[in-house]
Amino acid sequence: MTSIYEMYATDKKRETDGFWYAPSLVQGIEFLLARSGGSNMNYAQSLELKTRPHRQLFERLTDDTSGEVDHKALALANGFMLEAFAETVILGWKGIKDDKGKNFPYNAANSIKIMTELPDLYDELRGVAAKQANFRAKAIKADVGN
């Protein structure tokens, strides 16, 4: 019988230190991804610091009963989320080249650039980094034994 702890306990170190993920569409590329949530407080703190000066604007977005979307505020919020993700969830990469074929070193600015210019890649990495199963302690132990 499976316990609730086996299903929901996560590897806290893996959540903050990350794991190597290879996107399926491109060979030879890997991203070191921390969790976007869970024990990765760096992500939450970064998002908080970026959004704090705009808190009233974002509160109006959620309290608005008119049904209209403030696209400028929504774009600002999405930009902050992308920056926080690129700076605190993507911890490194291997095999990334720029559009001219030159090695593209990992740093926060380059991470933001790639996620901005390749939104489908950003969406894929966000999904992987948010998925609790990728950080589950029991599944990780089982994978190590194989």
pLDDT (0 to 100) of residue 66: 64
Q: Is 146 helix (H, G, I), strand (E, B) or coil?
A: coil
- Is residue 15 within 8 Å of residue 34, measured between CB atoms? yes
| Residue ranges of E strands in 22-108 | 30-33, 90-94
pLDDT single digits (tens) 20-51: 999 988 889 999 999 998 889 999 999 999 98
Strand arrangement, sheet containing 90-94:
19-21, 30-33, 90-94
Please determine, for residue 4, whether its predicted confidence score (pLDDT) is greater than 80: yes
Beta bridge partners of 109: none
Nearest alpha carbon to residue 31 among 77, 84, 86, 100: 86
Please name the helix (run of DSSP H) or strand (run of DSSP E) that holds residue 79, with its range, or none.
helix 71-88
Q: Is the four-CA dihedral 125, 13, 107, 74 of positive or negative sign?
A: positive
Tens-place pLDDT, residues 90-127 = 999 999 998 898 999 999 999 999 999 999 999 999 99
pLDDT tens, residue by residue, 47-82: 999 988 888 777 766 655 666 767 777 888 899 999
Looking at residue 99, what is its pLDDT? 82
Q: How many residues are present in the chain? A: 146
Question: Given this model, what pLDDT does residue 114 score?
Answer: 94
Phi, psi for 136 (deg, rounded to 5): -70, 130
Confidence of residue 140 (pLDDT cuts 50, 70, 90): low
